[in-house]
C-alpha cells in the first residue's frame, strides 16, 4: 500500500513540529554517558542511540528554522561534548575491530539492529557537524579533540585515495550499509576539520602541531581535492555522465549549469585549506620543503574563475599560491622539526576504549544480542524514525528505495509506504520488487507505531 505525495502534502503543516522541547532535550543530555566497547548493541546503548538521533534531528531543525540552538548550548553546559566525541570513537573502534570478526556469521534475519549500530557513526557525525560550528563547543571538547583530529585524519587520508570501484557482495545482509554509508562518514570528517581549523586560535596550542606536524593536514586535504571523491564519471549507454554524491547519501546525475557548481564537500575542503594556509597561527608554524611545496601548488589549477566566483575569499588563497610558486624551499630533512619545545598531547579517549578488551568475547556477545528483538528498543526506534519532522529535514528529495530502480538517480520518489511511512518509491512495481528486503523493517515499525 502507498500514499501519494499529494496526500502527504495535505498534512504538511502538522509535519513541521519540533522533535524535542527544550526542557526534554536538557534532561536527555544530562543522561548521556560513556559506554565501553562491550556495551555496543546492548539495551542501554541502543536507548542512547535513540537519544542522540533525536538530539541530532532537533539540532538540525533548530538550524534550519534559525531557532535558538538549545541542543548545542545544552551539550556545552552539561560538559557532554567530550561524551559525544567518545561515542563517535567508540563506534569507530567497534566497526573496525568487532564487525570484521562477526561479519561472515551474520544472518539476514538479524540485520535490523546491526544496521542501526553501523548507522550510529553517521548520526554522531551529523550532530557534531552542527555542534562544532560553535566556537564554545569546540573549546568544550578539551583533550578529546586530539582523538577527534586523529579520527578525521584517518578518514581524510582514505578520501585522498578513495576507490569507488570495489565490488560489493549484493547478497550479503549488510550490502546496503557497505555501499554509500562509508563515503558519507568519510566526507563528514571534512566538515569537522573545517570547523576545528576555523576555531584554532581558541583551541589548545598542541592541536595545531598535531594537525600540521603529525598528520600534515594541508597535504592530506590537497590529495582529497585532487581525488574529488564526491564525484565520479560513469558510462550511461554510449555516453559518459557526471554524478555527484549528495548530503542525502545518493549519487545524482549532474547536467547543465550544475556541473560548474561547487559541492558542499568541496567547499568544506577549500575552507579548511584556507584556514590552514592563510591564518597567522598556521603560516608561522608550517615549514615548507620541496615535497609539500610541490603538493600544495597542485591546488592552483583547481582555483578556476568559477570556483572563485562562488567562494570569493579563495582569491586570497590563489594570490598566496602564486607567491609560494616563486619560493624555493629546502630539501626535506634539512630544516628543523615543526614546533619544537612543546609537549605533544596523546589521544587518551581511544586508548581508554581499547584498554584490556577481549575482542573475540565481545564479538560472540554481539552475535547473541542481534537475535534479541527487544520490544521496547524496537518501539523506541520506530518512534524516532517515523517522527513527522524527519521528512522536512532531508537534505534532498526522497529517492526510490528499490536499489535496482533505473530512475533512482534522476527522479524523485513520490509514493510512500503507507504502513510504516519510512520508505519512498517511484512506482508500485518498485515497491513490490523491494518488499522482500523491506518487509521485516516495515512490520516492526508498523507494530510499534
Dihedral sign for Cα atoms in the order 257, 259, 260, 264: positive
On whether residue 353 sits in a domain, the answer given is: no
Instruction: Give tens-digit pLDDT for 403-447.
Output: 778 776 667 777 778 777 667 788 888 888 888 777 766 766 665
Domain that includes residue 443, residue range: 399-448
In this prediction, residue 114 carries a pLDDT of 83
On whether residue 281 sits in a domain, the answer given is: no
On whether residue 260 sits in a domain, the answer given is: no
On whether residue 412 sits in a domain, the answer given is: yes
In this prediction, residue 330 carries a pLDDT of 86
Mean pLDDT of 125-130: 96
CA distance 15 to 157: 40
In this prediction, residue 409 carries a pLDDT of 63
In this prediction, residue 10 carries a pLDDT of 32
Mean pLDDT of 59-73: 90
Mean pLDDT of 72-80: 96
The strand pairing partners of 424, in sequence order, are 416
Instruction: Give tens-digit pLDDT for 200-222.
Output: 999 988 899 899 989 999 999 99
Contacts of residue 342, Cβ cutoff 8 Å, sequence gap at least 6: 205, 206, 209
> pLDDT over 90 for what percent of the chain?
53
What is the average pLDDT value for the chain, to the nearest integer? 84
DSSP state of 160: T
Mean pLDDT of 259-279: 95
Contacts of residue 43, Cβ cutoff 8 Å, sequence gap at least 6: 374, 376, 377
CA distance 442 to 447: 8
Mean pLDDT of 307-324: 96
Cell digits of residue 331 = 630539501
What SS3 class is residue 232? strand
Under a CB-based contact definition with an 8 Å cutoff, are residues 286 and 338 in contact? yes
CA distance 219 to 119: 30
Whether 181 shows a pLDDT value over 90: the answer reads no
Mean pLDDT of 110-124: 85
Q: If 0-12 CB within 10 Å is exposed, 13-18 middle and 19+ buried, where does residue 196 land?
A: buried
On whether residue 418 sits in a domain, the answer given is: yes
Predicted structure pTM score: 0.82
In this prediction, residue 407 carries a pLDDT of 76
Whether 103 shows a pLDDT value over 80: the answer reads yes
What are the helix (H) ranges across 325-427? Answer: 348-354, 359-370, 375-385
For residue 386, name the pLDDT band (cuts at 50, 70, 90): low
First-to-last C-alpha distance (Å) of the chain: 16
What SS3 class is residue 231? strand
> pLDDT over 70 for what percent of the chain?
80
Q: Hunting for cell 554524491 — which residue is that? A: 245
Whether 368 shows a pLDDT value over 70: the answer reads yes
Q: Hunting for cell 547543465 — which residue is that? A: 256
In this prediction, residue 74 carries a pLDDT of 96
What SS3 class is residue 129? helix
Query: What is the CB-side half-sphere exposure of residue 274 using CA atoms within 13 A?
Result: 21
Residue 100, sorted as left (phi over 0), alpha (psi -120 to 50) or beta, turns out to be: alpha
In this prediction, residue 7 carries a pLDDT of 32
- Exposure string of 374-383, with b = 16+ CB inside 10 Å and e = fewer, is eeebbebbbe
Beta strand 424-425 with 415-417 is antiparallel
Say how many domains are in the chain.
Answer: 1
On whether residue 419 sits in a domain, the answer given is: yes
Mean pLDDT of 243-260: 88
- Give the distance, in angstroms, between the CA of residue 276 and the centroid of all CA atoms in the same chain: 21
In this prediction, residue 418 carries a pLDDT of 75
On whether residue 282 sits in a domain, the answer given is: no
On whether residue 409 sits in a domain, the answer given is: yes
Amino acid at each position: 500500500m502507498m500514499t501519494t505525495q499529494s496526500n502527504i502534502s495535505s498534512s504538511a503543516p502538522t509535519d513541521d513540529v519540533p522533535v524535542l522541547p527544550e526542557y526534554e532535550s536538557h534532561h536527555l543530555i544530562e543522561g548521556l554517558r560513556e559506554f565501553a566497547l562491550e556495551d555496543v548493541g546492548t539495551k542501554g546503548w541502543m536507548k542512547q542511540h535513540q537519544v542522540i538521533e533525536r538530539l541530532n534531528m532537533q539540532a538540525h531543525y533548530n538550524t534550519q528554522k534559525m531557532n535558538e540552538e538549545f541542543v548545542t548550548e545544552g551539550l556545552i553546559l552539561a560538559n557532554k561534548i567530550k561524551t559525544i566525541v567518545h561515542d563517535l570513537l567508540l563506534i569507530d573502534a567497534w566497526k573496525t575491530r568487532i564487525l570484521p570478526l562477526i561479519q561472515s556469521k551474520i544472518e539476514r534475519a538479524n540485520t535490523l539492529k546491526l544496521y542501526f549500530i553501523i548507522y550510529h557513526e553517521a548520526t554522531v557525525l551529523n550532530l557534531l557537524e552542527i555542534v562544532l560550528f560553535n566556537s564554545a563547543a569546540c573549546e568544550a571538547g578539551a583533550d578529546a579533540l586530539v582523538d577527534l583530529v586523529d579520527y578525521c585524519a584517518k578518514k581524510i587520508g582514505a578520501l585522498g585515495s578513495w576507490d569507488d570501484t570495489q565490488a560489493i557482495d549484493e547478497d550479503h545482509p549488510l550490502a546496503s550499509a557497505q555501499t554509500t554509508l562509508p563515503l558519507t562518514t568519510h566526507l563528514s570528517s571534512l566538515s569537522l576539520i573545517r570547523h576545528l581549523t576555523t576555531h584554532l586560535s581558541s583551541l589548545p596550542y598542541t592541536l595545531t602541531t598535531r594537525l600540521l606536524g603529525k598528520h600534515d593536514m594541508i597535504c592530506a586535504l590537497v590529495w582529497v581535492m585532487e581525488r574529488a571523491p564526491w564525484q565520479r564519471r560513469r558510462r550511461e549507454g554510449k555516453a559518459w555522465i557526471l554524478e555527484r554524491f549528495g548530503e542525502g547519501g545518493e549519487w545524482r546525475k549532474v547536467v547543465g549549469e550544475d556541473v560548474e557548481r561547487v559541492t558542499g564537500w568541496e567547499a568544506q575542503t577549500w575552507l579548511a585549506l584556507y584556514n590552514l594556509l592563510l591564518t597567522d597561527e598556521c603560516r608561522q608554524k608550517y615549514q615548507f620543503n620541496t615535497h609539500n611545496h610541490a603538493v600544495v601548488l597542485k591546488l592552483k589549477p583547481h582555483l578556476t574563475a568559477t570556483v572563485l566566483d562562488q567562494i570569493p575569499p579563495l582569491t586570497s588563497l590563489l594570490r598566496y599560491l602564486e607567491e609560494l610558486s616563486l619560493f624555493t624551499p629546502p630539501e626535506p630533512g634539512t630544516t628543523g622539526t615543526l614546533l619544537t619545545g612543546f609537549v605533544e598531547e596523546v589521544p587518551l579517549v581511544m586508548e581508554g576504549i581499547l584498554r584490556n578488551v577481549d575482542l573475540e568475547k565481545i564479538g560472540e556477545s554481539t552475535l547473541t544480542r542481534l537475535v534479541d528483538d527487544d520490544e521496547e528498543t524496537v518501539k523506541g526506534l520506530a518512534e524516532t524514525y517515523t517522527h513527522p519532522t524527519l521528512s522536512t529535514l532531508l537534505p534532498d528529495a526522497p529517492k526510490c528505495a528499490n536499489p535496482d530502480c533505473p530512475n533512482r538517480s534522476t527522479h524523485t520518489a513520490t509514493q510512500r509506504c503507507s504502513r510504516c511511512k519510512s520508505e519512498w518509491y517511484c512506482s508500485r512495481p518498485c515497491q513490490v520488487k523491494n518488499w522482500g528486503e523491506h518487509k521485516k523493517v516495515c512490520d516492526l515499525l508498523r507494530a510499534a507505531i
